[in-house]
Amino acid sequence: MSSRRIYLAGPEVFLPNATAVGEQKKALCRHYGFEGLFPLDSELTASSPEALAYQISEVNEQLIRNADLLIANLTPFRGPSADVGTVYELGFARGLGKPVYGYSHDDSLFLQRSWQLCGIGGEPGPAGDVRDSDGLKIEEFGLRDNLMIEGGLRQSGSDLLVQRADAASRYSDLRAFESLLQQLSRLSC
């Protein structure tokens, strides 16, 4: 039987050592009996930056179609939420009916991070009607990110795995990722 293929979604593609981190994630997948599909796997050439971007998007969508499941690194990225590219891929995989899993290296609440970026200082409030400096509502569900993200994971049968990592390894830490692989390999037995 061939190994189950896991699409490895996450902001690791933006790291200076993206390829090396991708190889580490793929090696861990192999160790637990899976095949990892990392977004940078394909060599691409294009006539313009825009054309290259569309090619990468097309290849990534195809990689997800070819995957059996998806694991997303949902650690907040450049703002209160996870990387939007990763979130798009999470939704895409869910729409395709593939099981999705996710982890985050930030244990703060979405409410706290949203307030920090867009609130009016002090502590978030009043409870039940927290709004940003423009008067727009901030979610108060006790979740780690937008409800569609954690809801999608829940609908798929899993929960966001939250495991704090040091600032220096915020995007490259692999312990939570490995925990998920361990759980999945046990489920496969």
Q: What is the binding site for a copy of itself (CB under 8 A)?
A: 11, 13-16, 18, 48-50, 52-54, 56-58, 60-61, 78-85, 87-97, 114, 117-118, 131-132, 135-143, 145-152, 154-155, 171
When the beta carbons of 58 and 179 are compared against a copy of itself, the nearer one is 58
Tokens of 184: 């999945």
Least distance between a copy of itself and beta carbon 62 (Å): 10
Least distance between a copy of itself and beta carbon 147 (Å): 4
Least distance between a copy of itself and beta carbon 66 (Å): 13
Least distance between a copy of itself and beta carbon 112 (Å): 13
When the beta carbons of 108 and 146 are compared against a copy of itself, the nearer one is 146
List all residues 6 or more positions away from 35 whose beta carbon is below 8 Å from its beta carbon: 2, 3, 4, 5, 6, 26, 29
Nearest to 187 by CA among 34, 65, 73, 38: 34
When the beta carbons of 165 and 181 are compared against a copy of itself, the nearer one is 165
Rounded to a whole number of angstroms, the distance between the first and last alpha carbons of the chain is 13
Least distance between a copy of itself and beta carbon 184 (Å): 21
Nearest to 59 by CA among 77, 45, 75, 73: 45
- b vs e for 70-101, b when ≥16 Cβ sit within 10 Å of the residue's Cβ? bbbbbbbbeebbbbebbbebbebbbeeebbbb
Q: Calculate the CA 43 to chain-centre distance.
A: 23
- The DSSP element (H or E) to which 53 belongs, if any, is helix 49-66
Distances (CA, A) of 33 to 50, 93, 161, 181: 37, 21, 21, 9
Least distance between a copy of itself and beta carbon 26 (Å): 20
When the beta carbons of 33 and 91 are compared against a copy of itself, the nearer one is 91
